[in-house]
């Protein structure tokens, strides 16, 4: 799927070590390279029901990881359906993931090659299409939904979570940044929630994904097939909102971060990452200390780049954000903590990345600026 960096399960503030699920996720997803592997056409299933389209990501053993060929196939079907259908549903095969990740290991090892760039370029182009889709687009985000899976869903009009949904943008843990339009949707969440999620990789589960504003509806997984059938059999897409609302059954429990939202908004309202760290130290609560511990494990360079990215993205349209992110990802392929993060977490698995530089204070503004510089005209992302 993105690159497995997105599959990264996340170092939430509630965790101090790589979770077992992450290890399982990585083992099952690092199967084929999203760049070089020849994709079996059955990895994307596209069916038609009357005037509706259904796209299924069909790599359950790899947690429906998105590779280059799959991205191209999804894009092709969506372009066709936009002109011939009244609605599109996208889902993942199996019960574990909607779309959880890909193989960043191969991308890192390949370096800034044309194939590596092509993956991100075509993935971001697909994200832009979803964000500007003319007909209703409904993503059933049942199971792990990270990185590329977020990009395939969050920009669409409807996103239906279940009790099995697991959301995170944990890229700073491997020296990357929240992409696939993360610079657009994260700053637009309530208060400073998006900045908190983007910097820490905190993971959300079940209907908390709805309560965070990432999903639009919540449906028990046992009812998903009924929901899908009702949508595919509806005679008028004007009834889609009513159908979705019929199955929308979130719990009455408070949002998991409700008790610390005031702290998040206070501590993450800052002009720099260093100021955020100081605010957390001044707070001194258990939550603040755990958050400091999390921030202390991830790439200082990624933290500063992500902070700048979300600050800029808050003022840009989605296509502009994706063009900015493409510049950033090309730079990351050339020179960043990305390679070292993947080495430490996915290749040698020593869990001891040697970040360069090792501290926030040593990350200069000039270094951060470099990631956002315009590429040569022939290399810029064209949407």
Instruction: Tell me how far apart the alpha carbons of residues 217 and 245 are, in angstroms, rounded to a whole number.
Output: 7
DSSP 60: G
The closest of 250, 269, 252 to 210, measured between CA atoms, is 250
Q: 247: cis peptide before it, omega within 30°?
A: no
Instruction: Tell me how far apart the alpha carbons of residues 199 and 43 are, in angstroms, rounded to a whole number.
Output: 32
- Compute the half-sphere exposure of residue 26: CA atoms within 13 Å on the CB side of its CA: 17
Instruction: Tell me how far apart the alpha carbons of residues 162 and 221 are, in angstroms, rounded to a whole number.
Output: 6
Cβ atoms of residues 253 and 205 within 8 Å: no
Residues forming the active site: 102, 148, 171, 179
Centre a 10 Å sphere on the Cβ of residue 232 and count the other Cβ atoms it contains.
17
DSSP strand E in 50-113: where?
52-57, 87-92, 97-99
């Amino acid at each position: 799927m993105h690159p497995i960096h997105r599959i990264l399960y996340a170092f939430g503030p509630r965790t101090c070590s790589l979770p077992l699920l992450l290890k399982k996720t990585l083992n099952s997803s690092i199967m084929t390279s999203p760049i070089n592997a020849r994709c079996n056409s059955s990895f994307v299933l596209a069916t038609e029901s009357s005037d509706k389209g259904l796209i299924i990501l069909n790599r359950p053993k790899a947690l429906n990881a998105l590779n280059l060929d799959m991205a191209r196939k999804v894009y092709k079907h969506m372009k066709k359906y936009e002109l011939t259908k009244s609605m599109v549903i996208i889902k993942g095969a199996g019960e574990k993931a909607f779309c959880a990740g890909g193989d960043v290991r191969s991308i890192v090892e390949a370096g800034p090659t044309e194939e590596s760039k092509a993956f991100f370029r075509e993935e971001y182009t697909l994200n832009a299409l979803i964000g500007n889709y003319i007909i209703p687009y409904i993503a059933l985000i049942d199971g792990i939904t990270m990185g590329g899976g977020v990009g395939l869903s969050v920009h669409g009009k409807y996103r239906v979570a279940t009790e099995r949904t697991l959301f995170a943008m944990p890229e700073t843990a491997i020296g990357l940044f929240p992409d696939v339009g993360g610079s657009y949707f994260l700053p637009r969440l309530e208060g400073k929630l998006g900045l908190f999620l983007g910097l820490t990789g905190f993971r959300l589960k079940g209907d908390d994904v709805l309560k965070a504003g990432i999903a639009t509806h919540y449906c028990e997984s046992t009812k998903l097939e009924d929901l899908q059938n009702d949508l595919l059999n509806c005679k008028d897409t004007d009834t889609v909102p009513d159908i979705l609302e019929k199955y929308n059954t979130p719990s009455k429990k408070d949002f998991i971060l409700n008790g610390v939202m005031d702290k998040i908004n206070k501590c993450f309202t800052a002009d720099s990452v260093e100021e955020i760290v100081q605010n957390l130290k001044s707070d001194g609560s258990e939550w603040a200390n755990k958050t400091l511990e999390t921030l202390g494990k991830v790439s200082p360079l990624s933290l500063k780049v992500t902070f700048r990215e979300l600050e800029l993205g808050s003022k840009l349209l989605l296509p502009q954000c994706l063009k900015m992110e493409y510049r950033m990802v090309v730079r990351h392929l050339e020179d960043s903590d990305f390679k070292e993060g993947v080495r430490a977490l996915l290749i040698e698995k020593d869990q001891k990345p040697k970040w360069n530089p090792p501290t926030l204070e040593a990350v200069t503004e000039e270094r951060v600026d470099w990631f956002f510089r315009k590429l040569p005209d022939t290399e810029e992302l064209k949407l």
